[in-house]
Amino acid sequence: MSPDMSPDAALDERTTAPPRAALPPFQPPLADLGPAFFSDIALHPLPQPHWVGISQAAAQWAGLPEGWADAPEALEVFTGNRAHAGSVPRASVYSGHQFGVWAGQLGDGRACLLGEWLRPTDEQRIEVQLKGSGPTPYSRMGDGRAVLRSSIREFLCSEAMHALGIPTTRALCVTGSPAPVRREEIETAAVVTRLSPSFLRFGHLEHFSANGQTDELRKLADHVIDRFYPEARSPQAGVDEADKAHPPPTNAYAALLRLVSLRTADLLAQWQAVGFCHGVMNTDNMSLLGLTIDYGPFQFMDGFDPAHICNHSDHQGRYAFARQPQIAYWNLYALGQALLPLIDSQEAAVAALSVYEQAFPKALQARMRAKLGLTKAADGDRALMDDAMRLLAAHRIDHTLFWRRLASAVEGDTEPVRDLMPDRAAFDAWFERHLAALAGQDLLATAAQMRRVNPKYVLRNHLGEQAIAAARQGDMSEVARLLQVLQHPFDEQPEHAALADLPPAWAADIAISCSS
């Protein structure tokens, strides 16, 4: 009640105002697996929590009721300060290869699975996980916390990737606290609430295989198949009969490996097409569902450089942009090794993996053909694509701006894209070939189609840094504005056009590491 409101008026307000929505109850996570796969954990509250960012789009996807964030318990539940109805907080155990080296047991060192929601529209299970909520049995001497800067980056990028149409975990919200966290310097704590049908990774299967726990390996693989890949039980279903080189496996676990390989191939093609660098493609950061997961040191490239390394801790360049597709295959090979006790045949495992080698280039070429506006395949497409990337690499041309402005060039306005080119003659010669490849197409319709696949807005590093700087001063409005823009990446949004400009010079000095 406000100070100048009468008791009767206050009563009228209480009786006429709509009731605040309650959060739906949780179901225990991973309940059909058992204690070998996780540890029940305690919550570790943070003082003075506050909202940093909220994604209503993610909430709608998860089936939350309107007004959920106004529920009295919401801020506390999504900071990890109190348990909600039905929640059994858990951390899962996994192992993995990190930078190509076997690291042994890892696990959810700062992640807490609160539980599952059943989405009302289709009863799909949605796992709800906090990242940065405190130590677990798998924290490996760490504090289990995350800091504000990395939490804002993950929150924004999760939702930006979804809006781009790239498979990803979602981010419901991020909360902050003045609690200090020591990294390279003292920072403040934050917690991201992540949503996904599953957070299971290659490393979960690697863990039980490496420890000789074949029964547990089988139980986990069956869980993945039954929930997410039921077609693996009937591997003939949905297989292209023309694909004589890769006949479907008869073993369900080989079929699982094949299906994960296909999803991973498509994911990597989408990353490469949009210029996204993951930064830490360890096997414990690879989703069994083919989702983008674990946003640590990531980057949408500004100037295109195939050798670009977005993680300054990656001293050998293992996860450089151009190496990502091969690293994904290496990780799939490690997954195949983990599943080998269930497949019982190395030949069957190799055959299941081999689909990646054909599926990835096919998926990438389809993406690149769409970026160029080509409606049908032709013999010269591959050379046209490769030469476009050579043009970009020769002078580190801005990746996002080039593809977006190319649509205007197709319409007849070539100057915006030519302005990006130090060597205009080389571009003009290439563009003449591009127009020849588009002969017979409606160029206005083609340009419109190109704008539907070439985003105007991506989460550039400097945009994230600006939102983080404002949030550190207590101003969360830039996080909200950037989220709104990134949720509509293909729209013109002229009022936000400055967010699509070339990055400032200082952006080249931004260093992103695994420290978060």
- State the Cα–Cα distance between residues 124 and 486, nearest whole angstrom: 26
Out of 284, 294, 302, 398, pick the active-site residue.
Answer: 284
Q: What is the DSSP string of 373-397?
A: T--S--TTHHHHHHHHHHHHHHTT-
- State the Cα–Cα distance between residues 78 and 421, nearest whole angstrom: 47
Q: What is the DSSP string of 400-429?
A: HHHHHHHHHHHHT--HHHHTT-S-HHHHHH
Q: Is 284 a catalytic residue?
A: yes
Phi/psi at 193 (5° precision): -95, 115
Calculate the CA dihedral of residues 501, 269, 414, 299 and round it to 10 degrees: 20
- At 206 the three-state DSSP class reads helix
- At 182 the three-state DSSP class reads strand
Closest CA to 300 of 205, 145, 166: 166
- State the Cα–Cα distance between residues 87 and 35, nearest whole angstrom: 16
- At 442 the three-state DSSP class reads coil
What is the number of other CB atoms lying within 10 angstroms of the CB of residue 366?
A: 15
Catalytic positions, please?
284
